[in-house]
Structures are given as structure tokens and as C-alpha cells.
């Protein structure tokens, strides 16, 4: 029982740190009431496609990527979940269906507060801040989606590669990326050789430094 109370106290601290700005006091209290803290290590599969969605994560540390899979087994990154932000897809996915349409994988060592899905309906009605949180994150996602369509439509591969690297640096919170050329190529749905060439160009321009399985981003 003591550990339980201790757990709730930790939960409160986490929420005060990141979510007290956006959620009203009563909602925070309810989250503490029904939520549970979960550690997720880097690379861990949190949710798979088709899994029963019983809980929704509020990220307090690290980053989680959500991906959907195409028929041809190609993967598309939907979004990244980070502290304070969320991908409304994960919430709204639960409103009308219980099975997940996405896969969630930690890309850093992460930590999340898990909220039972059945609270969603109730909270959406009860708490204005919760509604805004969901709507805001949808808005944010839409802007992101428009950005990536624009990027695909109007930007060359070399510009998209720079964007990719910058995003990665921001996401991983380090300018030393442990990633292979092949992984980048797969993410960008292109071939490894051309990524290698473009990276080489960037290195010659002094913007990055290439090591094996490692890219150091300098000035951009």
C-alpha cells in the first residue's frame, strides 16, 4: 500500500512537471487516480498493429514513434510522441475501434503515464482542457502532414535529407546520430546508394561528418 501511495506521488510530480500547464487541477487528479507509470526502453515495442488498445500513453520522457504499415510491408511514420505532445491519432483510434491501426516503438529510453481508454469519453465531455489538448494535437498533426506533403511535392531529395537529419537531431536531442545510410534510405523510401552520395556531398560541404553507422551533424 505504501508503494502504491509512493507511486501516486511520483505520478503527481511527473504531471506537475509537464502537464499542469495544460490540464486543469481536477483532471490531473483523475489522471493520478487511474494512471500508471511505465518505463519503456529504447527499441521496445509498446503497441503492435491489431493489438487491443486498453491504454493511452502520455509521454513524460523520451520519444515514441507511431508507424502504419502498407500492404506491401512498407512502413510509414505517422508521428513521434514526445513529452507534452501527443498524437491524437492514438486517442481517436480508440473512440470507435479498440484495435490499434498503428505500431508504437520507443526510439529513446522513454517513460509514459498510461491512461485507460474507457476514460476518454468521460474526460472529453468533462474537461475543456482535455478537449483542447486533443484538438490542438490534431491541428498540429495536420500542419505537419501539410508540411510533409509540401516537402514531397516541392523539395528535392537533398533538401529532404537535410530536413530529415535536422528532425532527427531535434528528436534524439543529440547531433550525433547512430544511424546507417540504409536506415535513412528506408525511412525516406529511396535507395541506399543515393543517400550515401548525398551524405558524401554534405560532408564535403562541411555540414556533417560521416563515420560508420554514425553521422555527426555540424552546422546547417
Partner DNA sequence: ACATTAAGTGATT
Partner DNA sequence: AATCACTTAATGT
Chain contacts with DNA (rule: CB under 7 A):
156-158, 180-182, 189-194, 196-197, 199-200, 210, 212-213
Least Å distance between CB 66 and DNA? 24
Nearer to DNA by Cβ, of 11 and 202: the residue is 202
Least Å distance between CB 106 and DNA? 20
Q: Which residues contact 41 (CB under 8 A, 6 or more apart)?
A: 106, 109, 110
Nearer to DNA by Cβ, of 96 and 211: the residue is 211
Rg (CA), the chain: 19
| Spatial distance between the Cα atoms of 190 and 50, rounded to a whole number of angstroms | 28
Least Å distance between CB 153 and DNA? 11
Least Å distance between CB 219 and DNA? 19
Least Å distance between CB 113 and DNA? 35
Nearer to DNA by Cβ, of 39 and 151: the residue is 151
Q: Which residues contact 218 (CB under 8 A, 6 or more apart)?
A: 175, 206, 207, 208, 209
Least Å distance between CB 78 and DNA? 21
Nearer to DNA by Cβ, of 89 and 199: the residue is 199
Question: Angle 119-126/128-154 helices, nearest 10 degrees?
Answer: 100
Nearer to DNA by Cβ, of 34 and 76: the residue is 76
Nearer to DNA by Cβ, of 98 and 178: the residue is 178
Amino acid at each position: 500500500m505504501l508503494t502504491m501511495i509512493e507511486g501516486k506521488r511520483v505520478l503527481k510530480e511527473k504531471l506537475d512537471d509537464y502537464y499542469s500547464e495544460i490540464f486543469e487541477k481536477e483532471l490531473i487528479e483523475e489522471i493520478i487516480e487511474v494512471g500508471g507509470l511505465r518505463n519503456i526502453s529504447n527499441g521496445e515495442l509498446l503497441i503492435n498493429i491489431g493489438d487491443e488498445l486498453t491504454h493511452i500513453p502520455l509521454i513524460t520522457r523520451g520519444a515514441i514513434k507511431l508507424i502504419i504499415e502498407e500492404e506491401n510491408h512498407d512502413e510509414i511514420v505517422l508521428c513521434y510522441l514526445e513529452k507534452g505532445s501527443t498524437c491524437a491519432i492514438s486517442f481517436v483510434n480508440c473512440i470507435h475501434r479498440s484495435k490499434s491501426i498503428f505500431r508504437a516503438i520507443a526510439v529513446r529510453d522513454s517513460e509514459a503515464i498510461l491512461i485507460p481508454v474507457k476514460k476518454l469519453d468521460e474526460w472529453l465531455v468533462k474537461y475543456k482542457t482535455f478537449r483542447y489538448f486533443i484538438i490542438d494535437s490534431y491541428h498540429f498533426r495536420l500542419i505537419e502532414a501539410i508540411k510533409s506533403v509540401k516537402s514531397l511535392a516541392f523539395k528535392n531529395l537533398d533538401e529532404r535529407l537535410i530536413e530529415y537529419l535536422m528532425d532527427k537531431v531535434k528528436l534524439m536531442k543529440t547531433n550525433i546520430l547512430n544511424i546507417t545510410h540504409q536506415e535513412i534510405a528506408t525511412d525516406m523510401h529511396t535507395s541506399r546508394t543515393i543517400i550515401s552520395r548525398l551524405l558524401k556531398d554534405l560532408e564535403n560541404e562541411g555540414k556533417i561528418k560521416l563515420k560508420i553507422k554514425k553521422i555527426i551533424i555540424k552546422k546547417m
